[in-house]
Structure 1
Amino acid sequence: MNSRALGRQTHPERRSRPAGHVPVAVKLALVIAALAVVVMGALGVILLNQHTQTLRAQAERFGETMAHQLAGASAELVLAEDRLALGALVNNLAASEGVRGAAIFTLDGIPLAEAGVHRVNPASTTPWGQGVRWRLPGSDEPVASWQVPIRFQELEVGHARVAHSLAPLEATTRRAVWLLVSATLVMALLASIAAGVIGKRLSRPIDHLMDASRAIGAGNYGFRFTERRNDEIGHLMESFNEMARGLLEKSQVEAALSRYVSPGVARQILANLEQVQLGGRQVEGTVLFADIAGFTALSERLSPTEVADLLNEYFGYITRIASDCHGSIDKFIGDCAMVVFGATEPDPEHRLHGLTCALMLQRLVIRLNARRETPVSFRIGVNSGTMLAGNLGANERMQYTVVGDAVNLASRLMALAEPGEIVVPQDMADDPRVAPCILSARSDDIRVRGREAPVRTCRIRAAGGDPDLDARLDALLDEMGA
């Protein structure tokens, strides 16, 4: 169906529109006017709030400063009970611009000197707290009172109170509100006029686009415009076609990938979109576990944001190194990363690739620690063997992962490794494809829970037959801008 056909189909609809139909130009004008009001209103409220808070803070600082100045000037006079001097002090302050009253009290609340109005009920001797707001009787003028202790050499000897006017603050706020409302109305009017003019010119092709949007909304992602136009509407139609194609692909991809968390199996999923189901197959592969040694203590020294940044940084490096070594991230578990080799695609060199990944990660940490204030060490365990690789979970939510005894042993070897060590089974290090490429040191046999016989292990010290390991790591770091 092309746009001309769509246009012919919508003509009867336009002729038979109900009496209450509102033209698209009017709707567009109303929408844009409403949007202008909302945007201007929201922006104005934010600016007005900030403006008011700033003025209020200044007013509070003024009152608090005046109260502290009064307290500092009257300390010795209070001790001397010089009521005459105290009276002159508060009278001078009460005569200042913006000050409505001042008073000095003993610790028991007995006034020593008063001037002006500094509380709601002048007959009350109940002390007020800091920043109390009220209105002057009769004039209804907004006033704020501040009361601070009078101290002489760390000894509290009384209280000083100052009441100052908030009328300038309210007047400024009213002017700002008036300007905001005026600007909003002008913007709404201009937006309505512009939207009405534009809406009339766009109403006809918009009808076609509305029919197309209904088709897309109904799930018809195969809809396409066939008409070609050399104007903005034509570009919009082409963009609509691109959007429809993208939605079609997205609906298929999301149906499969929304149940997966590991990007390492994306190609396998996309190649078999029609048969995504639970199940797995036995594979010969290698699994690597790496976690940060002493992560709990490290977390206590860093803020949560710094901890998150640290983990994200190292997980980013691990992901790139794993990809370079033909592996894929299976999952991140707290501060631990699980990497698999040979699980999604057959890889006869999965053992070597897993150990190479461990060595590159070990060297990366050494480099990063040289420029870090907080050094980090990884404990790494690597093991290979037969494992089950496939989709585990439920039909509504599944994960592509590997499970089995070989995976469990790799996790336990990681737990037994010292900070900075790579621990692997001895038979893996003795593999003819691996042995020439590594330098290892024999370790004591260990007993692993769940196994009757001890496991012979060794610690990998360095790479032996891969002189390009550092060059590969340099290239990766350059790509990542590290």
Structure 2
Amino acid sequence: MQDMHKTLPAANDNRGFFSTLVALPRRLPIAYKMAVSFSLLIILGMGALGAAVIHYQEDLMRRQIESYGATIVGQYAATAIDPVFTDNQFDMQVLTANLVKDHRIEGAALVDPKGERLAGEGLVPEPLVDYVPHTELQSVTWQGQSLLNVPHQLVSFFAPVQFRQVTAGQAIITLSLADVQYSFRQTIHTLLAATALMMLFSVIIAYWMGKRMGRPIKTLVMATDELGQGNLNVQLPEDRGDEFGRLNQAVNRMVRNMREKNQVEGVLNRLVAGDVAQQVLSDLNDVGIGSQRVEASVLFVDIVGFTSLSERLAPEVVVDLLNEYFAYFTQCSQLYMGMVDKFIGDCAMIIFGAPRPNPDHRFDAIACAVMIQRLLERVNKRRHQLGQPRVCVRIGINSGEMMAGMVGADQRMEYTVVGDAVNLASRLCSLGQPDDIVVGGDVIERLERPGRVTAEPFRQMKVKGVTAMVSAYRIEALASRYEQSIDEMIDGLLTTTDQPPKAI
């Protein structure tokens, strides 16, 4: 068991090595890949070409040798007819010796029908009795040794020495295949040199081409990295006429579409709440009229005496004043997970608990209202120092079941909440005095951890469609730690800019 445990790391190392080896081509730059690919193609191409050339040359030279050998041995046999039939040893030896003087001929011999040598010089296959008698021209390839004892291939040609159908012996000549083999080697060396030279040029050209092709790819990778980091100011060159140019154009179109989409999202987020905008953009094909029952809170905040104030001010000043205070309302609501549903004249309607569920929506609505009132106290002090009139608001809050969703027509719709609880919140707002926060009984009676809020009964009132009297409360204060947190957030809002915030 111990030995087995010792061998496991080696196996893991091997797997890691082979995995790295397999993954290596995917990690190489494209220039290296092109260089290797071109080299392999040239090796395969030159290998196939070399094999064809060598085969053709081998076949051609073998035919030439066979033709030459057949001619020489035929002439040798014809010339040897008289000496062989007359048994003239001297003439046979002279004829053979003269024939071997040709450097292309390694050996020659004349033999009788029994294989006995009549005359001979140089290399001939032994024993001769194994190769005679032959009644027609034949050749035999065999392994021999040169005068320097270097083994090499030889080919011997046999032709009958005959006159009028009478065979008196055999004529034999031996040719060396060394020239053929040398030619083969030279051809192989030439092909190898040509392959190496072409590989060198191809590697250089492929590397250069890979570098040129890699530049636009590298630029494209850098652009996509910038896009991944949220930079939509990427602009790729479109002056190329090849596929990279068309790819750059496609990427630029995509970036422009993304910029336009972001602009649309930005504008949509300013026109409607962020949660509603994301819900709409998540499925543009499923946007339509529809609502669902939710448990939520609604806050109405109304600027008191705005009508008389607007009569004393220029229209431009009135609009700037509205935008300033609507910006305050929006910022406070965002800090408490509220959504500004709409601005109605000098009134704002804020929803808590929809479209994003919030189990503590009642307290968040109250805390948002307290923050608005405390923020406006600070703003009014600044307005007083500037000699500007004081601006007060009254706030009404109610909670309960209501319908939330897209309301309107197919041609024009908006996200909102409707129901008796919403109507009661609007009515509570109208009943309050300047700086009042009036809430419905449902808000106080169903508040989680009620010790966070101090409220006093405001009045009992009759609501249309409801048999029992409806209780209303006035918010006095929050627990000290919540009010301290509100003061810190107000400090942050008022110190981030010297200018009043703009409505979003």
TM-score (normalised: structure 2): 0.46
Question: TM-score, normalized by length of structure 1?
Answer: 0.48
Q: Which has the higher contact order (CA 8 A, sep 6+)?
A: 1
Look at both structures and tell me which one has the larger radius of gyration over its CA atoms: 2
